[in-house]
Amino acid sequence: MGASLTIGEFSRLTHVTVKALRHYHDVDLLRPAAIDTANGYRLYSTDQVATAQVIRRFRELDMPLEEIRDVLHASDLLQRNRAILAHLDRLERRLDQTQADVASLRSLLADPAIPPAVEYRTAAATPSFAIAEMVPKAGIDEWCAAVFAELYAALDRADVRPTGPSGGLYSNDFFEDAAGAVTAFIPIGDRVEPRFGRVQLVEVPSSRLAVTLHVGSFNDLDRTYGALGAHVAERSLGSEGPIREHYLISPADTDDLARLRTEVCWPISPVLDTNYLLEGNRPWISE
């Protein structure tokens, strides 16, 4: 039963602005201990100081108000600590990401864009274990990590060996919007039914592709996309279909980001691809 404080006094004790306090009242995150019925004044108790400070600390760390509400209303300590730890983990990841972004930006500003070596290749249709889902752009790395773990577990369970590097199919929506369909796959030799979690048997379709090898962190993938996409566009080779990535050396294989190797594969039209024609192919004849 602490003393009663006006909103201004309470603000000074807690270092939370008056506007913020009114907002927390509006969204029912921190209700004043009482309201003066005569004039509508909010009256806070000194007992509420600690709560307000906790809110302030979490907001300083960019925790959304909804999550702060969960922390404050957590029924048990376990649940509460889980919510807090989840946020601290997220912060840590963001710190790492920011540091990587800064390094990556420095290299973008320093290095001139080197025109990439582009190879043309026809990928044959391949039966694969695959997981296909709508994935938000921001969470793609975590999604891939989780999903490939599941795919490899499915291989183990089915006692099947991969017949090539793992890969991903990225719908146009994935790049154009904030989220889109992604298929993570691992090619297998035979048509085996997976029967494991979200894993399905999928035939990755055949496609004519322009391919560039991307060296290093996924943070810089956009540079390879830009270079390869420009290469294709400038030669008017573009075609429909999802963009592919092949994970030759993936985060599952190494912790050293510099050692990562990723093939970026841009779908191209065989009809317009001179190399393809020179190999004796006649794509306009129905296959």
Judged by the rule CB under 7 A, the positions of this chain that interact with DNA are 6-9, 17-20, 22-24, 38-42, 59, 64-66, 172, 176-179
Where does the chain have alpha helices with state H? 7-14, 18-26, 49-60, 65-73, 77-110, 140-158, 172-176, 221-234, 274-278
Rg (the chain; Cα; Å): 27
Residue 137 to residue 90: CA distance in whole angstroms: 16
Pairing of strands 200-204, 126-136: antiparallel
Residue with smaller CB distance to a second copy, 46 or 122: 46
Work out what residue 22 binds among DNA, a second copy, none; the CB cut-off runs from 5 to 8 Å by kind. Answer: DNA
- Quick check: 57 binds a second copy (CB under 8 A)? yes
Element (H, E) at 213: strand 207-215
**3-class SS of residue 162:** strand
**3-class SS of residue 91:** helix
Contacts (CB under 8 A) with a second copy, residues 214-233:
221-223, 225-226, 229-230, 233
Burial class (CB in 10 A: 0-12, 13-18, 19+), 182: buried
Q: How far is the CB of 146 from DNA (least distance, A)?
A: 21
Residue with smaller CB distance to DNA, 5 or 155: 5
Residue with smaller CB distance to a second copy, 13 or 181: 13
Residue with smaller CB distance to DNA, 26 or 255: 26
Work out what residue 38 binds among a second copy, DNA, none; the CB cut-off runs from 5 to 8 Å by kind. Answer: DNA
Going by the DSSP 8-state scheme, the letter that residue 220 receives in this structure is G
The residue within the footprint of a second copy, chosen from 27, 34, 35, 88 (CB under 8 A), is 88
- Quick check: 58 binds a second copy (CB under 8 A)? yes
- Quick check: 134 binds a second copy (CB under 8 A)? no
- Nearest CA to 206 out of 281, 261, 151 is that of 281
Going by the DSSP 8-state scheme, the letter that residue 138 receives in this structure is G
Site for a second copy, rule CB under 8 A: 2-3, 5, 8-9, 11-15, 17-19, 46, 49-50, 53-54, 56-58, 60-61, 84, 88, 91, 95, 98-99, 101-102, 104-105, 108-109, 113, 137, 172, 175-178, 221-223, 225-226, 229-230, 233-234, 236, 238, 243
